[in-house]
Chains A and B, each alone.
Chain A
Amino acid sequence: QKEVEQNSGPLSVPEGAIASLNCTYSDRGSQSFFWYRQYSGKSPELIMFIYSNGDKEDGRFTAQLNKASQYVSLLIRDSQPSDSAIYLCAVTEGGGSNYKLTFGKGTLLTVNP
């Protein structure tokens, strides 16, 4: 059973702080990793993806991947109230031509003004 684990939260941070969201996965064959943001009542929106070990930065967002530890994280710098949402970690199942994603249950982030 392939699993993606996330702390359900809520994770509460003050405005301007760094929010750190974590995710572990069980399938060692996974090759691609994604972070989605989902506002209440809306569909998931892709915000970051990472394929290689290390860090990937895009604006206020940094994704970090450690395949040896089967761990992926998302850092949000200068958090804003508009960042308040559920953040979903998603991982491809195995490698090769398998394009299915396994989603975590999501972490609720609340940024307090």
Chain B
Amino acid sequence: EADIYQTPRYLVIGTGKKITLECSQTMGHDKMYWYQQDPGMELHLIHYSYGVNSTEKGDLSSESTVSRIRTEHFPLTLESARPSHTSQYLCASSPSGQQFFGPGTRLTVL
């Protein structure tokens, strides 16, 4: 089982602010993912990485960006938050196929 951490757990912020959601894992997994999930709705993949300096956009168009400078760290950044970004953001890591999720960050943009 992966140990995967996300901070902050909850964030309420005003429109136009730049935010970074942190995700770290201690298992040395090469693969990491960011999902967006609205309450009661399905998971949508927004970014993924199969290793250091490798990032790809997911299936859901997103205005966020990611970086993967270290294996254990996969932060997601929104340059200018908008109310439409209000959602739950879930980070996951994987050694191969199965993915292990962090606790999530619930973001509210006013």
Contact = CB atoms under 8 A, between A and B. Distances in A.
Interface in A34-48: 34, 42-46
A26 interface: no
A4 B84 CA distance: 26
Contacts of B31: 99
A45 B43 contact: no
B98 A49 contact: yes
B61 interface: no
Q: DSSP class of B's interface residues: helix, strand, loop or mixed? A: loop
Nearest to A90: B99
A46 B98 contact: yes
A100 B45 contact: yes
Interface stretch (B14-22, B69-77, B101-109): B101-109
B81 interface: no
A94 B102 CA distance: 25
Interface stretch (A17-25, A52-60, A69-77, A101-109): A101-109
A112 interface: no
A80 interface: no
A44 B101 contact: yes
A41 to B, nearest CB: 8
Interface of B: 31, 33, 41-43, 45, 48, 50, 58, 90, 94, 96-104
The 10 closest A-B pairs by CB, nearest first: A32-B97, A43-B101, A105-B42, A103-B43, A43-B104, A44-B101, A49-B98, A99-B31, A43-B90, A43-B103
